[in-house]
Amino acid sequence: MHTYDRLFIGGTWTEPSEQDLLDIHSPHDRSVIGRAAQAHPADIDRAVTAARTAFDQGPWARTTPAERIALLRRFNDLREAHDDELAALVTAENGSATWFTTALQASLTPQFNGYVKAAEEFGWEETLSPSDPAVPYRSVVRREPIGVVAAVIPWNAPTSSAYGKIVPALLAGNTVVLKVSPENSLSMGHLAGLLEQAGLPEGVISVLPADRGTSEYLVSHPGVDKIAFTGSTQAGRRIASIAGQQLKRVSLELGGKSAAVVLPDADIAKAVQGLKFSSLLNNGEACIALTRVLAPRETYEEIVTALKDLVESLTVGDPGDPGTFIGPMVRPDQQERVRDHIRLGIEEGARLVTGGPQVPAGLEGGNYVTPTLFADVDNSMRIAQEEIFGPVLVVIPYDDEDDAVRIANDSEYGLSGGVWSASTEHAMAVARRIRTGTLTVNGVPIGYDGPFGGFKASGIGREYGAVGLGTYTEYKTITL
């Protein structure tokens, strides 16, 4: 049993304003696996005040990029040494299978290195020569920190989401209040302890689990200069409206309903194997999951059959078992939401190929969903338009390449996508036509040097690499 009865505010473990601890339940069997203090508005006030003081009066914003890099390297080294504990905690809290949480932890150092490389090469201060030689002055362009950052992250991949915000924000010289989901109180409490060991100056960072009401209090706080949010599109719209009213800087990484386009020349076996990891990662609870599979009519039934075999082969069960591929949903309400969408797909007239709304036999005591595959899906159906956030795939037929691109783009979202083809050049040509922020070809992983983010209702702004780092800076021009 893990217990965190204090809150990490400004680098110090502090008594919470309210003493009641939240029970953290296992998604596997709904037992209590830990208890943790939760932040309330009074705690937010203390954290923002600490961050504001550290930014306005402390040394952090005036340190050099090299100094900040050195300190954050120390934190990353500590985190690497605790990857096993962090992965186990996320598995216990979220129900994410061990294979996924282990891979998630392994991805953090490449993500970190991408930010550090960007910081080392970043144009923190550059002198511009006048475009007209007759002009007797020059301009110095600086990239300075924005100030206090409210970073709000979801529960589904907490360590990766935390890294995607606190690393660039701190590298740029900002101070941060990291608001995490109550479900992740244990893993993020452990991460907070590593930040404490790294030795950041007083006030520079707080890590606070809190509910949605307290999250809104944080992003509305007058002491906050920038909001960085990952979560649902509905919540993102609310945050964008708050930012607009207060003219705060804002970046939003939101939902997705991404398409996987299998071209006629693709190797079907390789495409289906790739979809195992790009469509069903993290129990399907992933914004980047490729849950709309677009298949050519000439090989449609062959692809459906191959996907049926794949889905039925997946081991569902205890996420702590190394042999498990699909674990439980994070909470009972999420379990019911996914099951409701499966029922909806049946009502809409889609062909239920395998799976269904029933709970897997022997797993009734947890938040489990049977992995489900629908075929003969029209892209106008709700199961093809709404983000289900569970192990549910839909297969949509297309007539030709233009039709495939049209269907892929017929979505309010534009976060991720994939193209499978025997020809990289052909896949690239199709990928260029799809309106989404990130695409992969033949199932390769997403990289961390290029920007990541969404078109349309999938967000505003980008993360990773130099572009992601730049979103935590302001331009200042000094003319001499």
179-223 confidence digits (pLDDT tens): 999 999 999 999 999 999 999 999 999 999 999 999 999 999 999
Query: In the numeric block, which tokens belong to residue 264?
Result: 């006629």
The answer, yes or no, to whether residue 311 has pLDDT greater than 90, is yes
CA distance linking residue 148 with residue 50, whole number of Å = 10
Query: In the numeric block, which tokens belong to residue 62?
Result: 């005036």
Q: What is the mean pLDDT of residues 142-167?
A: 98
The answer, yes or no, to whether residue 129 has pLDDT greater than 90, is no
244-295 confidence digits (pLDDT tens): 999 999 999 999 999 999 999 999 999 999 999 999 999 999 999 999 999 9
Using pLDDT thresholds of 50, 70 and 90, give the confidence band for residue 131: confident
Using pLDDT thresholds of 50, 70 and 90, give the confidence band for residue 85: very high
Predicted pLDDT at 132: 83
Predicted pLDDT at 1: 85
The residue type of 479 is: T
Could you say which DSSP state residue 367 is in?
T
CA distance linking residue 309 with residue 441, whole number of Å = 23
Q: What is the mean pLDDT of residues 434-440?
A: 97
The answer, yes or no, to whether residue 439 has pLDDT greater than 90, is yes
Using pLDDT thresholds of 50, 70 and 90, give the confidence band for residue 105: very high
Predicted pLDDT at 134: 82
Q: Which CATH architecture does the domain made up of 2-254+457-479 adopt?
A: 3-Layer(aba) Sandwich (3.40)
Predicted pLDDT at 133: 82
CA distance linking residue 172 with residue 312, whole number of Å = 47
The mean of the pLDDT values for the chain is 97
Using pLDDT thresholds of 50, 70 and 90, give the confidence band for residue 306: very high
Residues with a catalytic annotation lie at: 253, 287
What are φ and ψ of residue 207, in 5° steps? -130, 110
pTM higher than 0.85: yes
CA distance linking residue 298 with residue 279, whole number of Å = 22
Domain ranges of the chain: 2-254+457-479, 259-447
The answer, yes or no, to whether residue 343 has pLDDT greater than 90, is yes
- C-alpha closest to that of 184 among 9, 34, 322, 303: 34
CA distance linking residue 479 with residue 476, whole number of Å = 10
Strand partners, 365: none
Q: What is the mean pLDDT of residues 223-247?
A: 97
Predicted pLDDT at 210: 98
The answer, yes or no, to whether residue 454 has pLDDT greater than 90, is yes
What distance lies between CA 382 and its chain's CA centroid? 23
Predicted pLDDT at 35: 98
Predicted pLDDT at 167: 98
Q: Which helix (H) or strand (E) holds 337?
A: helix 332-348
Check: CB of residue 14 under 8 Å from CB of residue 46. yes
CA distance linking residue 229 with residue 460, whole number of Å = 10
Q: Which CATH architecture does the domain made up of 259-447 adopt?
A: 3-Layer(aba) Sandwich (3.40)
Predicted pLDDT at 80: 98
What are φ and ψ of residue 427, in 5° steps? -60, -40
The answer, yes or no, to whether residue 136 has pLDDT greater than 90, is no
Q: Which residues contact 195 (CB under 8 A, 6 or more apart)?
A: 8, 11, 75, 205, 207
Using pLDDT thresholds of 50, 70 and 90, give the confidence band for residue 137: confident
Predicted pLDDT at 135: 80
Predicted pLDDT at 479: 93
Q: What is the mean pLDDT of residues 117-144?
A: 92
Residue 174 half-sphere exposure, CB side, CA atoms within 13 Å?
33
For residues 252, 119, 437, 156, the Cα torsion angle rounded to the nearest 10 degrees is -50
The answer, yes or no, to whether residue 385 has pLDDT greater than 90, is yes
